[in-house]
Structure 1
Amino acid sequence: MPGLRRSATAAAGLLAALLLACPLPATGAAAAGPAAADRGADPGRDRRPWLDENRSVAERVELLLDAMTTDEKLNMVRGHGLALVPRGRVKGVPRLGIPELRLHDGPHGVSDVKGVTAFPAPITLAATWDPALARRFGAALGAEARGKGINVHLAPAVDILRVPQSGRVWESFGEDPYLTGELAAQEVRGIRSRNVIPTVKHYVGNNQETDRMLVNAVIDERTLREIYYPPFEAAVEAGAGAVMCAYNRVNGAFACENRKTLTDDLKRSMGFDGWVMSDWLATRSGQRAARAGLDQAMPDDPLFSANLRVGLATGSFPEARLDDMARRVLTPMIADGLFTTRYGTPGRNVRTAAHTALAREIAVSGTTLLKNRGGLLPLREDTGSIAVIGTAAHDDVRITSAGSGRVLPPYVVTPYEGIRGRAGGEVTYTPGDGGGAAGLREAADAAREADVAVVVAGLVTQEGEDRKSLRLPGNMDRLIETVAAANPDTVVVLTSPAQVLMPWTGRTKAVVSSFLGGQELGNALAAVLFGDADPGGRLPMTIAGRASDYPAGTRRQFPGVGLRQVYSERLRVGYRHFDAAGIEPLFPFGHGLSYTTFSYRGLSVSGTTVRATVRNTGKRPGVAVPQLYLQFPRGAAEPPRQLRGFAKVRLAPGESATVTFRLPARAFQIWRGGRWTTVPGGYTVRVGASSRDLPLRGTIRR
């Protein structure tokens, strides 16, 4: 059982270091501290050998299964009731010491409850390109979930950003499977370090909200294996204890009763040894779903277990499968320490100063400088007056989106407040985009009277609904154009979870994307605008100049005809499409500017190890994100380039660093003929600052 067995020991070894990075809430240190500190002598341990930590996880699970009744097993494969906190419950078995499972969202914090930290959304974390930060983020999520009494956290989401208008792109990590997998794996490890089970979702083909309950995602096998499965594989390898199956159909069968995707691919091919739970109310059958690979129906489905009970009595459902279902639930429960860990209570305030600092750090590291003509940014200390314009700057700040993953912030530092608190001169605020022609005139007047204008424009998306347009809502585009015409020194700040059209980029000097920056958005933005921090973000998505530049399969067919969404672009998702079609993006995948400059040199290739040297050639300290892309031999029929490695380095002026990329065998493989295979030939290695800025070139022969 590769996922949980291999990672259980490693997670325990990392616990001490992570506790220092993400301390538990001061209000509940005793109740929510490390599991080792919570364990005491148990007089019943000798009579319950499955609690003996000197035994292997597998042995303990089998001992426990032997002691369980059929009714107790059936209770473990369905939810029992729905409450605010947790979102789902699965009954424990007190006589055997099996704790109740308490499940809750979401991807950037404990959702819809008070007393938690509103971290930046995962799409902002994706823009950091920083796996170490993702691990700390996961540890903080796990700590706050545990402090609220939750032992199964419904995160991370790893749905690939296939269509820019999808309503839930903010919950995941962008358009590339490798970047998504690397970040998700570290988040999983972080969550597990706090004795909380991570749940990776939504498996699979959940790439739109329109008709999500019925739409049939038609995806060929190679595309599934190379684009949509890899993030789930990475999460499984990192030890995700649960996988949530989606609402939609995949190649005809519903995702939660799809034998091919659940049993053949996830459990057998990927080696997943945890349990598959349904998305909430996504279970459509009893025995059929269980036989296909569903292990648990959520959030409350007595008909599911009743149907299995009838099958057991009549012999139509095998008892061995029920044992397998219960075994899969028990395995991560034991591996991640749920039997011996104390958890908090729903009413506890689990916020900490360390988590607040982490929220700000992620927001800074994910802030992406897209354009900076004439070096307008960073703003100088002697910058005079600043006009902050747009309701998204203060009255209608966008830090989260709507749906099951929404987080209630304890406060929000708005962009206006952050800039005003940091600036040395006068700072004014004008809504601008809410008052029609009069509002535009007020915005123009404010911009004209200021030395610098900062326009903040944004939008939110939501679960259950896709965007109808890629344009900014309302009159935001016109607001930006009006302000830029009134003041040539205009900075545009975007608070948006995904791509928007930017017809005004030629008329503005600077463009910054904060994505969805969480409760510390304003402070993080001010730190970047004034140069207290280098903009650390790089795009986890491709931004097109026109809507028609996105792949035909996502543009013309979206959201599908007759509840059928054909993934006709196949492997050409995101930048792969732009490269293959020879389309120049407005801003390419991996793009992001610094306040300094970098040179890339000294590429060397030894076997499958690639090294390159990055040097800060400017006068300021800065952040570089060297990226490695691989071009396959022609016979592989792959898109022109694919991300296969990246690093994040911070360099002082004149400082250099040698970055090492070690490429595993899988990096060179394609899915062909029902297996992973390496096409013989020369593989071109390209290294640089983005998918379209790759000055270094080498060759690896396979």
Structure 2
Amino acid sequence: MPSLRRSAAGAAVLLAALLPASPPPATGAATTAAERDAASGRDRRPWLDGSRPVAERVELLLGAMTTDEKLNMVRGHGLALVPRGRVKGIPRLGIPELRMHDGPHGVSDVKGVTAFPAPITLAAAWDTALARRFGAALGAEARGKGVNVHLAPAVDILRVPQSGRVWESFGEDPHLTSALAAQEVRGIRSRNVIPTVKHYVGNNQETDRMLVDAVIDERTLREIYYPPFEAAVVAGAGAVMCAYNRVNGAYACENRKTLTDDLKESMGFDGWVMSDWLATRSGQRAARAGLDQAMPDDPLFSANLRVGLATGSFPEARLDDMARRVLTPMIADGVFETEYGSPGRNVRTAAHTALAREIAVSGTTLLKNRDGLLPLSKGTGGIAVIGTAAHDDVQITSAGSGRVLPPYVVTPYEGIKERAGGEVTYTPGDGEGEAGLRAAADAAREADVAVVVAGLVTQEGEDRTSLRLPGNTDRLIETVVAANPDTVVVLTSPAQVLMPWTGKVRAVVSSFLGGQELGNALAAVLFGDADPGGRLPMTIARRASDYPASTRRQFPGVGLRQVYSERLRVGYRHFDAAGVTPLFPFGHGLSYTTFSYRGLSVSGTTVRATVRNTGSRAGVAVPQLYLRFPGGAGEPPRQLRGFTKVRLAAGQSATVTFRLPERAFQIWRGGRWATVPGRYTVYVGASSRDLPLRGAIRR
């Protein structure tokens, strides 16, 4: 699907939105635009004229560039820390320097920025409008720090829960990931910053990531792993970052099939492909395959191209295409006209702090609430907050290139203590051996309610070797619940963990990685100031062996070949197809009120249903639509095809509408998207396993 941004009409509309309105014609000496341009010499650089179409400006500029200037645009220059990467500007032509920086939930490893919740927390919010606002805030802070190319969003599908970077993306489902990524891209672009979607493609583990061959069949690529990239392309992502790993034999940054045939030709991407940092392995071969820019600094890359141009082994037309692809989003996204800040600037704002808290609240997911232990009432007496993750070792981000330095962190203990009316104590408990467990039991026994916070951090370059909580955390939880049955377990984890104690505790809450406002957001949910807004963007299994057999056998690592033999059965698709009951299903999350679903109606490809708040307090519902394909399509039993988020007062109803595009009914067959004729079953409900409404669509 071609990028809507780069069309002539789309570009004109975009420029009108991005650039100041042209002043009305004026008379008098040196007052008209033409006279001012002539006086400044600007008329000799017509590509700087914002009233011209993007494509025309690009071609005019390209025609004025020397070979050396084109080669300048296709490699980084210097291993800068801030920004993380740069491409030198060309002053004589008015081309500004490109300044690139991570990361997925804030400008990484610099001071003076907001530490937003991790993208996996945003994914749990299931809220596209919130994703767009997050993208706009991310773009604004990047711009304020002098960054004009932000290396986000990451859209790698959560194939295996052990993967070290799952926190950077949006979970296991391509539809949910696509919807959120597209809005984040639009938000980033609204601040005249170029979004870079990553890591293309098959980057689903950290083990052997520089060498491993992700063996993925074409249909699985098209239906599971490509859709988020395609959605980002349609939303206007100016750059795509190719990954370290191999894909079906060829390295991702020199893979003609994935880069040129699929991304550029099939998906219509006309921005540039940059390498992940130090992922470039060749010069002409990579460029011929579709790599447009080697990062962060690779003089051998451009030198190799220069030799090829001189000897005739590398076509000049391809160099023109590489430079054109870099220049197009620079002009379309207003980089030439926009003023950017500096690395030392403090870009935090009160609005961004409030947004960080809102995302954390919206992504907080109530997994279990037996006998209505939550929300805690005003009359709740003593509260024992237990676990180092509650205060001494709080997890709000993970390690690697995407790490954000928070200006402060409101810990769970601090948030609860500030909000509670009664006495609140803190006991580390874990990491202190038998004495720590005894202290935790004593604290829990003396309190009315115990809140155990269990944390886990993952990192780039390393996968987890176990799905269990670290150290003696499981034993700590068992000890506390034995001392006080009114125990709430709060998980601050980037992905799934095993929960052998779930049947014994009354309430389980997942905050994922909640950013600098974690404690305030958690307290707001625990005390009922806000309804828990989160729904799971992943399936949580009862046992490690319940996850797909292919990933259990092969991950992490068997040599350097990772066969995606589960094919389309990723996440809940596997659990449904195998008839395995999860501990908590994809899309699951409880409210402090109750909802009913009724009145399903189908008209063509439009589906409507009524959601009613049947409880006594306001709450958040996330209606979800799943499709079952006709027999013979070879698809998993059900697939998410629509969702929305509604906030309803007690007794209030809302009719939600899902309009399904033709792609919702298509599979990849015979080298193209094809609609499968027949009867589709439509399901609407609260999760992938709670679908009370059923209807049919014929195609």
Change beyond 3 A, Cα 1:22–1:563:
farther
SS in 2 for 1:42: helix
Equivalent of residue 663 in structure 1, options 639, 646, 660 = 660
SS in 2 for 1:6: coil
Over the matched positions of the two proteins, sequence identity in percent amounts to 90
Task: Map 1:29-48 onto structure 2 (within 5 A).
Answer: 43-48=40-45
Task: Map 1:257-656 onto structure 2 (within 5 A).
Answer: 257-656=254-653
- Counterpart CA distance in 2 for 1:585 and 1:686 is 19
Per-residue deviation, 1:290: 0.1
SS in 1 for 2:385: strand
| Contact map agreement 1:101 1:152 (CA 8 A) in 2 | yes
Per-residue deviation, 1:679: 1.3
Per-residue deviation, 1:621: 0.2
- Counterpart CA distance in 2 for 1:473 and 1:402 is 16
| Contact map agreement 2:247 2:255 (CA 8 A) in 1 | yes
- Counterpart CA distance in 2 for 1:198 and 1:62 is 23
Backbone CA RMSD of aligned residues: 4.3
| Contact map agreement 2:19 2:337 (CA 8 A) in 1 | no
Per-residue deviation, 1:44: 3.3
Deviates further, 10-19 or 59-68: 10-19
Per-residue deviation, 1:559: 2.2
SS in 2 for 1:363: helix
SS in 2 for 1:62: helix
Change beyond 3 A, Cα 1:146–1:52:
same
Per-residue deviation, 1:2: 3.2
Change beyond 3 A, Cα 1:341–1:12:
farther
Per-residue deviation, 1:9: 7.5
**CA offset digits 1:540-565 (Å, max 9, x no partner):** 00000000000011111112322000
- Counterpart CA distance in 1 for 2:319 and 2:377 is 66
Change beyond 3 A, Cα 1:82–1:388:
same
Change beyond 3 A, Cα 1:374–1:31:
farther
Aligned equivalent of 1:8: 8
1:157 is the counterpart of 2:154: yes
| Contact map agreement 2:215 2:561 (CA 8 A) in 1 | yes
SS in 1 for 2:30: helix
Change beyond 3 A, Cα 1:317–1:341:
same
- Counterpart CA distance in 2 for 1:585 and 1:301 is 47
Change beyond 3 A, Cα 1:41–1:639:
farther
| Contact map agreement 1:399 1:518 (CA 8 A) in 2 | yes
| Contact map agreement 2:77 2:87 (CA 8 A) in 1 | yes
Spell out structure 1 runs of 4+ moving beyond 6 A: 7-32, 36-42
SS in 1 for 2:42: coil
Aligned residues between the structures = 699
Per-residue deviation, 1:3: 1.8
Per-residue deviation, 1:116: 0.2
Per-residue deviation, 1:132: 0.3
Change beyond 3 A, Cα 1:26–1:665:
farther
SS in 2 for 1:143: helix
Aligned equivalent of 2:135: 138
**CA offset digits 1:244-266 (Å, max 9, x no partner):** 00000000000000000000000
SS in 2 for 1:235: helix
| Contact map agreement 1:31 1:344 (CA 8 A) in 2 | no
| Contact map agreement 2:524 2:530 (CA 8 A) in 1 | yes
- Counterpart CA distance in 1 for 2:274 and 2:600 is 46
| Contact map agreement 1:4 1:273 (CA 8 A) in 2 | no
- Counterpart CA distance in 1 for 2:496 and 2:397 is 16
| Contact map agreement 2:679 2:698 (CA 8 A) in 1 | yes
| Contact map agreement 2:18 2:334 (CA 8 A) in 1 | no
- Counterpart CA distance in 1 for 2:17 and 2:611 is 29
**CA offset digits 1:194-250 (Å, max 9, x no partner):** 000000000000000000000000000000000000000000000000000000000
- Counterpart CA distance in 2 for 1:535 and 1:434 is 30
**CA offset digits 1:313-372 (Å, max 9, x no partner):** 000000000000000000000000000000000000000000000000000000000000
Change beyond 3 A, Cα 1:253–1:25:
farther
| Contact map agreement 1:25 1:349 (CA 8 A) in 2 | no
Change beyond 3 A, Cα 1:318–1:20:
closer
| Contact map agreement 1:15 1:194 (CA 8 A) in 2 | no
| Contact map agreement 2:12 2:53 (CA 8 A) in 1 | no
- Counterpart CA distance in 1 for 2:348 and 2:161 is 33
- Counterpart CA distance in 1 for 2:495 and 2:28 is 37
Change beyond 3 A, Cα 1:6–1:647:
farther
| Contact map agreement 1:452 1:487 (CA 8 A) in 2 | yes
Per-residue deviation, 1:47: 1.5
Per-residue deviation, 1:31: 25
Change beyond 3 A, Cα 1:140–1:350:
same
Change beyond 3 A, Cα 1:14–1:306:
closer
| Contact map agreement 2:6 2:270 (CA 8 A) in 1 | no
| Contact map agreement 2:369 2:508 (CA 8 A) in 1 | yes
TM-score (norm 1): 0.96
| Contact map agreement 1:612 1:659 (CA 8 A) in 2 | yes
**CA offset digits 1:376-397 (Å, max 9, x no partner):** 0000001000000000000000
Change beyond 3 A, Cα 1:24–1:492:
farther
Q: Unpaired runs of 5+ in structure 1?
A: none
| Contact map agreement 1:27 1:350 (CA 8 A) in 2 | no
Change beyond 3 A, Cα 1:404–1:674:
same
SS in 2 for 1:413: coil
SS in 2 for 1:599: strand
SS in 1 for 2:464: coil
**CA offset digits 1:477-524 (Å, max 9, x no partner):** 000010001001000000000000000000000000000000000000
| Contact map agreement 2:244 2:279 (CA 8 A) in 1 | yes
- Counterpart CA distance in 1 for 2:434 and 2:26 is 51
| Contact map agreement 1:493 1:511 (CA 8 A) in 2 | yes
Change beyond 3 A, Cα 1:94–1:673:
same
Per-residue deviation, 1:54: 1.4
- Counterpart CA distance in 1 for 2:402 and 2:652 is 41
**CA offset digits 1:614-646 (Å, max 9, x no partner):** 000000100000000000011101000000000
| Contact map agreement 1:202 1:244 (CA 8 A) in 2 | yes
Change beyond 3 A, Cα 1:649–1:133:
same
SS in 1 for 2:308: helix
Per-residue deviation, 1:43: 2.6
Per-residue deviation, 1:526: 0.2
- Counterpart CA distance in 2 for 1:63 and 1:141 is 32
TM-score (norm 2): 0.96
Change beyond 3 A, Cα 1:368–1:498:
same
Per-residue deviation, 1:654: 0.5
Change beyond 3 A, Cα 1:15–1:268:
closer
Per-residue deviation, 1:118: 0.2
Change beyond 3 A, Cα 1:76–1:30:
farther
- Counterpart CA distance in 2 for 1:46 and 1:172 is 45
Change beyond 3 A, Cα 1:133–1:39:
farther
SS in 2 for 1:46: helix
- Counterpart CA distance in 2 for 1:577 and 1:40 is 63
Change beyond 3 A, Cα 1:30–1:44:
closer
Change beyond 3 A, Cα 1:452–1:565:
same
Q: Unpaired runs of 5+ in structure 2?
A: none
Per-residue deviation, 1:52: 1.1
Change beyond 3 A, Cα 1:426–1:181:
same
Per-residue deviation, 1:16: 12
